[in-house]
Chain A
Amino acid sequence: MIYSAKITIHLKKGMLDPEAQAIRHALQNLGFATQNLSSARLFEIGIEAKSADSAHKEAEKMCERLLANPVIHDYTIEVRE
C-alpha cells in the first residue's frame, strides 16, 4: 500500500531563526501584530510499505539520514493512507 508521510522539519526550541525574524518584521511593517513567528519545512512523501508503522519507520530513517540535521532540527511525522 502507498502511504503518504507528512514530514515537518523545524528548528529546535531556542534556535535562532533569522528568516522567521525577517518575515515577522515584514508582517509588522504591513501592520500585523504578531506575538511570535517560526518557520518550518514540509515534505510530503509517498512511501510504499506493508503498514503505516513501517512507513513511519521509513520516514524516520529519511529524517535521520538526510532531511534533518540533529544539531539544529526536530521533526514530526504524520502517516496516512
Chain B
Amino acid sequence: MRFAVIQFGGSNCDLDTQYICEEICGVDTDLIWYKDGIKNDYDAIIIPGGFSYGDYLRSGAIAAKTDIMQDIQSHASNGGLVLGICNGAQIGCETGLIEGIFTRNRYPKFISKPVCLRVENNISPFTSIYQKGEVIHIPIAHKDGRYVAPKDVTSRLNKNNQIALRFCDQNGNVNEESNPNGSKENITGVLNRDMNVMVMMPHPERASEMLLGSEDGLKIFKSMVSYSEKM
C-alpha cells in the first residue's frame, strides 16, 4: 500500500499529512512536487491544505490548472482514492472533481477553531469507520470555506448520499448557529458520485493524535487504509 501527498507552491499541511499517514497509520507515503507528476501507482492521493499560489484569483484556482491535476483526475477515474483537505478541497472543486465551490466565508474573516461535524455518510472509503450520525471534533482554518452550489446540485448530492460531513453543534444538530462560515446546508465534506473522491474543509490531520486534543480525524485516514487493504 502506498499513499501520496501532493506539494504545490504554498502547500503547508503536506508534512503533517504525510506524518499521520506514515507514523500513525504505517503507510508508506511519498511527497510529490507538483512539477514531477504522478509516476507511480498509489492507493490514495491526498491534496493537503495550505495557500497554493497565495490564493491568487480564487483559492485553489491556479493549482487546479496544473498538469499534475490531470494525473490526479486519471487516478480518480480509474477508481483511486483522492482526498482534498482545506486548500486541497478548494483545488478539488476548482478542478471539477467535486461539484460546487468553497468561497469567501459569510463573515469574511479567517476562522481557526475546533468545530463539531456530523458524519452523514459512513459507507464511503473515507468514512467507513465512523458511525452514521456520529459527532466528531476536527478543527477548521480557512477564510474561503463557505460551500456554494446550485440547488439542483445540492439536491442531487443529498439524494445520492454524497454529503459526507456537515457542521453541527455538540449534540449533532445541524443548524444556523453551528454553521461557522455560511456553507450551504452546513455542508463541509463532499463526495463524488463513485465515492472515491472526497473534499473537506476541516483538517483531519490536525485531529489525529490525542496530544492535539482530538483523534477524531484519524478515522478518515484509517478508513482509507482499511479500504485499500481490501482492494
Contact = CB atoms under 8 A, between A and B. Distances in A.
Interface stretch (B9-17, B105-113, B197-205, B212-220): B105-113
Contacts of B61: 66, 69
Interface string B58-72: 100100010000000
Interface string A37-81: 000000000000000000000000000011101011000000000
A69 B103 CA distance: 10
B142 interface: no
A3 B107 CA distance: 39
A71 B107 contact: no
A19 B107 CA distance: 8
Contacts of A16: 106, 146, 182
Contacts of A33: none
Contacts of A15: 148
Most buried by B among A18, A19, A22, A67: A18
A72 B65 contact: no
Interface residues of A, number: 11
A71 B100 contact: yes
**What are the 6 tightest A-B residue pairs by CB atom distance, in nearest-first order?**
A18-B108, A71-B101, A18-B104, A19-B108, A69-B101, A18-B106
26 contacts: A15-B148, A16-B106, A16-B146, A16-B182, A18-B104, A18-B105, A18-B106, A18-B107, A18-B108, A19-B108, A22-B108, A65-B65, A66-B57, A66-B61, A67-B57, A69-B58, A69-B94, A69-B101, A71-B99, A71-B100, A71-B101, A71-B148, A71-B149, A72-B101, A72-B103, A72-B148
Given A18-B108, A69-B101, A71-B99, 10 more contacts: A16-B106, A18-B104, A18-B105, A18-B106, A65-B65, A69-B94, A71-B100, A71-B101, A71-B148, A71-B150
A16 B49 CA distance: 25
B22 to A, nearest CB: 35
A19 B104 contact: yes
Main secondary structure of the interface of A (DSSP, over half): helix
Contacts of A18: 104-108
Contacts of A22: 108
Interface in B97-134: 99-101, 103-108
Interface in A1-18: 15-16, 18
